[in-house]
A and B are shown apart, each in its own frame.
Chain A
Amino acid sequence: MESDEGDEQQQEAERLPLSQRPEWSDVTPIPQDDGPNPVVPIAYKPEFSETMSYFRAVYYSDERSSRSFQLTKEAICLNPGNYTVWHFRRQIIETLHTDLQDELAFVGRIAKSNSKNYQHHRRWVAEKLGTGAVNKELQFTKKMLSLDAKNYHAWSYRQWVLQALGGWEDELDYCQILLGEDIFNNSAWNQRYFVVTRSPLLGGLIAMRDSEVNFTIEAILGNPENESPWRYLRGLYKDDTESWINDPRISSVCLKVLSTKSNYVFALSTLLDLICHGFRPSEEFREAINALNTPDSGPLDSDLGRAICRVLECVDPLRCNYWLWRKSKLPLTVSSQ
C-alpha cells in the first residue's frame, strides 16, 4: 500500500473536530488539568487541545485500538516532541502488529519537517526489523543529510545504525563525497574519524594513518584557514604524541603554509604545539616566521615558542589573551644564539 503522505496534509486542511466524528462519540475527552495557578500557560490552538484531550482519554484507559493508532498519528503531527504519544504508539504497534515498513515511512515524513524527536522511535522500529533494515536506514539518514549536511541528530542516528546494524562498506566513500561537496563540513570530518577508528572492515587507526595523513594534508593545503583538517590531523595521532612530533609531514605542512604568508594561524598554533611537545625546529622555521613581517611584533624572540606566541597575539587578536597565557606557560629555556 502506498504511503498516505497526502493524507496528513489533507487532514490538516479539512480536519473534522474529534467531537464531531461518530467513531469517537463514546469517548469522553480528558481536559488538561493545569491547576489553579499555572505557570507559563500556553495559548493552545483548539485543535491541539482537543487532540490531546482525546489522547489522554485513550492513554488513560490504555485502549490499544486502530482508532487510537490513528489518533497518535494526529497528535504526533501536531506535536512531534511529545514522547508520551510516541511511547503509546509503540505500545499499540506491539499489540496490533501494525506494519513496520509503513512505520518507517511515517517517521520519515515526520522527520522531514521536524528534524528532532523521531530518533528513538525510528531506532525501536529498526531494531525490530533487524539487519534487514540497514540499507533503508542508511538511505534515510542520507536523505536527511542531503537537506542539512550537518544535522546532528541525523549523524548520531547514522552512527547508531552502523554500530548496531552494520553497513560500513561505503561509509568512507560517503565521507569523501560530502567533503568533496564541502571541505569545511566538520560533521563529515568527524564521521571520517568514526569510520577510520571503528569500522570492522578497515584496519584501525594505525593502519589507516598514513593514507589519512596524506589526504588531510591535501585538504589543509587547499584551505589552510579550515580548522577541521588541522584538528583531524592531530586526532590521527591521538595518544601517540611521539609519532606526531616525529612525522616530518606535520611540521612540513606548517612550513609550507607559513611560506605562503597567508592563512597561517593554524600553521603557527600547530607549530607551537609541536614545540611544546618536544619538536626541535630547524632554521627554516625561524626564517619563515621572520619573513612574515607582522606589525608590532618587534625583533623576533630568540625562543621560537615565544616568537610564535607574539605573532599570534597580532594575527589572531580575538585570542590575544590566550596567546599571552600560552607564552607565560612556555618552559623557560636557555636561549641559544
Chain B
Amino acid sequence: MEPATENEWDRLSSSSSDGEEQAASDGSSSQFNRQQHVAFLMMMYESLPHHYQYQEINRITLAHFAISGLCLLGALDRVRVDKDAVSDWVLSLKAHPREFYGFHGSPSSQLHPDDNGVLMHNGSNLASTYCALAILKAVGYNFANIDSKSILTSMRNLQQHDGSFMPIHFGAEKDLRFVYCAAAICFLLEDWSGMDRERAKAYILNCQSYDGGFGLTPGSESHGGGTYCAVASLRLMGFIEDNVLSKNMSSSIIDLPLLLSWCLQRQAADGGFQGRANKPSDTCYAFWIGSVLRMLGGYNLIDKEALRGFLLTCQSQYGGFGKCPGDLPDLYHSFYGYTAFSLLEEPGLNPLCAELGMTEFSALGI
C-alpha cells in the first residue's frame, strides 16, 4: 500500500482526540489505543486521501476494512455510520444478470446497461463479492433479500478444471485467494452449489509446500496469506474438524504437524509474525498466521506477550497500524491489526470468527 505523507496524517491527529480517554501522545505505548483507532477509521470512512486512488478498483475492500474494523472495535453502533446508506451503496454495486453476477469493487468499473438494458461490461469479481457480503453482515442486512442463486450459479463458471478460481469472468490470476473468496461466499450464503468442493480441496492440497505452509499456487513458496486461505477454505468447506490439534492428527488430509511447526516458526525474535521464512515481521501476519493457529486449536502455543509488544510498536500515534514498527498507518494493516488484537482477546474488542475474517456475531447474523 502507498504510505501517506506526514501532512495528511497531521489532519488526522488534530481531529482524533475525541472523548475522555486520552491515548498516550506517543502512539507506540503499552496500550491499545481503542479511541484513537475508532477516530482513524471514521476519518477513512468519510474520506480517503488521494494516494488511495491506486486501490480505486477495490474500494469495496477498503469499505470492508473500515466498517468491519469499526465492528471489531465495538464501535459500529456508536459512530456516524448510517447502516441503511451503507447497504444501499453496497447493493448498488451488484452486477446485473450476465456472466458472474457478483459485486463490483467500485462504481468506476460499473457502467449502466445500454439502451436495450444489456450490461455489456461486467467487472464484478469474487473478492469484491466477499467484501460486499462481509459489509452487509456487519450492518445486519437481511440476507433473505439477496439474490443468492444468481451469484452462486454464475460463480461455478469461475472455477477452473484444476479446482482453482478465477476472480472475474474475463480472466485474471488464478490462485488460493479466490478459492477462499468462493468458499466464504458459499458459506455466507449457506449454499454450496456455487463450487465443486472436492475439486477445490484437491487444488488446495496441491498448494501445500514441502515445508508445511501453503503457497498461493502449486509449487510457489509457502506464505502466510496462502496458508490462511488454504486452511480457512478447508475449515469452511468442512474438511477440517474443530480443534483438530487436540484430536488424531494422523487422519488429517494435510500434513498437520509440519504445518503447525511452520506456523509457529513464523513468530520472529521481535515477537511479530513474518509471512515467509527469513523475511521481516509485518503486522498483518499476526492475523493470517494467528488465525490459522486459532482455527487449528493451537493459538495458545504462541508467545502472546511478545506478539502484543511487537504490534504496539506498529501502532500509530494517529490511530491505525502500519506494516512495520514506526510506519505510518494504512487501512489494510489497521484492519488486520484489529483482528490480531481480537485474537489476543484485547478488552473492548469483539470476538473474531477466524474463518470468515469478521466478528463472530456478524458471522452468526445476530
User: Looking at B45, B110, B265, which has the most chain A CB atoms within 10 Å of its CB?
Assistant: B265
A87 / chain B contacts, CB cutoff of 8 Å: 170-171
A247 at the interface (CB under 8 A from B): no
Q: Which of B46, B109, B223 has the most CB of A within 10 A?
A: B109
- Which parts of B117-170 form the interface with A (CB within 8 Å)? 120-121, 123, 125, 168, 170
Q: Does A214 contact B (CB under 8 A)?
A: no
B residues less than 8 Å from A30 (CB atoms)? 111
**Contact A238 B210, beta carbon cutoff 8 Å:** yes
Do B121 and A43 touch across chains, with their CB atoms under 8 A apart?
A: no
When distances are taken between beta carbons in the complex, the residues of chain A under 8 Å from B278 are 184-186, 226-228
Q: For the complex, is B37 an interface residue (Cβ under 8 Å from A)?
A: no
B66 touches A40 (CB 8 A): yes
CA distance A43 to B279 in the complex (A): 34
Contact A44 B221 (CB under 8 A): no
Find the A residue at minimum CB distance from B173: A120
Would you call B352 an interface residue if the criterion is a C-beta within 8 Å of the partner chain's C-beta atoms? no
- Residue of B55, B264, B269, B279 near A150 (CB, 8 A) is B279
Kindly report which residue of chain A lies nearest to residue B104, judged by CB atoms. A84
- A39 near B86: Cβ-Cβ < 8 Å: yes
Complex contact B120–A152 (CB within 8 A): no
A231/B63 in contact, CB under 8 A: no
Asked if B219 is at the interface (CB within 8 A of a chain A CB), the reply is yes
Residues of B close to A32: CB separation below 8 A: 107-108
CA distance A184 to B53 in the complex (A): 36
Give the CA-CA distance A238 to B209 in the complex, in Å.
Answer: 10
CA of A30 to CA of B109, assembled, Å:
11
Query: B56's contact among A81, A152, A317, by CB below 8 Å, is which?
Result: A81
User: Per-residue 0/1 for B195-211: is the Cβ within 8 Å of any A Cβ (1 yes, 0 no)?
Assistant: 00000000000000111
Check A186/B276 contact, CB under 8 A, given A40-B45, A62-B120. yes
Q: Is residue B240 contacting chain A, with contact meaning CB distance below 8 A?
A: no
A156 contacts B216, CB within 8 Å? yes
Report chain A residues within 8 Å CB of B107.
Answer: 32-35, 38
A-side contacts of B222, CB under 8 Å: 190
Binds B, one of A165-173, A280-288, A318-326: A318-326
Taking the complex as formed, is B44 at the interface, i.e. its CB lies under 8 A from any CB of chain A?
yes
Is B189 among interface residues, defined by CB-CB distance under 8 A? no
CB A313 to nearest CB in B, in angstroms, measures: 12
Instruction: Check: A119 CB closer than 8 A to any chain B CB.
Output: yes
A35 and B92 contact, CB distance less than 8 A: yes
For the complex, give the distance between the alpha carbons of A94 and B209 in Å.
Answer: 38
- Against B, the Cβ 8 Å flags (1 = close, 0 = not) of A134-161 are 0000000000000000101001100100
CA–CA, A155 to B221, complex, Å? 9
Residue of A nearest to B299 (CB): A321
Q: Which residues of A contact B269 (CB under 8 A)?
A: 318
CA distance A321 to B264 in the complex (A): 10
Question: A42–B217 contact, CB under 8 A?
Answer: no
What separation, in Å, do the CA atoms of A187 and B276 have in the docked complex?
A: 9
Contact flags B222-254 to A (C-beta < 8 A → 1, else 0): 110000000000000000000000000000000
Which of B283-291, B300-308, B317-325 forms contacts with chain A?
B300-308
Per-position binary interface string of chain A over residues 53-65, scored 1 when its CB falls under 8 Å from any chain B CB and 0 otherwise? 0001001101000
Asked whether A156 lies within 8 Å of B211 as measured between CB atoms, the reply is no
Say yes or no: is A215 at the interface (Cβ < 8 Å to chain B).
no
B67 close to chain A: CB less than 8 A: yes
Q: A119–B56 Cα gap in the complex (Å)?
A: 19
B300 touches A56 (CB 8 A): no
Contact of A59 among B88, B90, B111 (CB under 8 A): B111
Question: In the complex, which residues 181-224 of chain A have their Cβ closer than 8 Å to any Cβ of chain B?
Answer: 184-187, 190, 193-194, 198
A234 CB-CB contact with B under 8 Å: yes
CB contact under 8 A between A82 and B210, given known A119-B173, A227-B265, A319-B303:
no
Q: Which residues of A contact B276 (CB under 8 A)?
A: 150, 186-187
Distance in angstroms between the alpha carbons of A52 and B58 in the assembled complex: 15
Whether A43 lies near B108 (C-beta < 8 A) is: no
Interface pair A120/B172, CB less than 8 Å apart: yes
B47 within 8 A of A: yes
* Residues from chain A with Cβ under 8 Å of B264 in the complex: 319, 322
A235 touches B210 (CB 8 A): yes
Q: How far is the CA of A33 from the CA of B58 in the complex (A)?
A: 15
| A contact residues around B86 at 8 Å (CB) | 37, 39
Are the C-beta atoms of B220 and A231 separated by less than 8 Å? no
Residues of chain A with a CB closer than 8 A to B265's CB: 227, 319
Known interface pairs A37-B89, A120-B173, A319-B264; A190-B45 also in contact (CB < 8 Å): no
Judge if A24 is at the interface, Cβ distance under 8 Å: no
Minimum CB–CB distance for A154 against chain B, Å: 11
Name the A residues within 8 Å of B96 (CB-CB).
Answer: none
The reply to whether the CB of B48 lies closer than 8 angstroms to some CB of chain A is yes
Q: In whole Å, how far is A199's beta carbon from the nearest beta carbon of chain B?
A: 12
Could you jot down 15 A-B contacts, CB within 8 Å?
A: A36-B88, A39-B67, A60-B121, A62-B120, A79-B56, A81-B56, A81-B57, A81-B58, A82-B108, A84-B109, A152-B220, A156-B217, A190-B209, A193-B209, A318-B269
A-B pairs with the 8 shortest C-beta distances? Answer: A235-B210, A231-B211, A37-B85, A190-B221, A186-B277, A84-B109, A184-B278, A322-B301
B interface with A by C-beta (< 8 Å): 44-50, 52-59, 62-63, 66-67, 82, 85-86, 88-90, 92, 107-112, 120-121, 123, 125, 168, 170-173, 175, 209-212, 215-217, 219-223, 258, 260-262, 264-265, 267, 269, 271, 276-279, 300-303, 306
Give 19 new A-B contacts, CB below 8 A, not counting A62-B120, A187-B276.
A33-B110, A36-B88, A39-B45, A40-B48, A41-B47, A42-B53, A45-B53, A84-B108, A124-B171, A155-B221, A184-B278, A186-B221, A193-B209, A231-B210, A234-B211, A318-B271, A322-B260, A322-B264, A325-B301
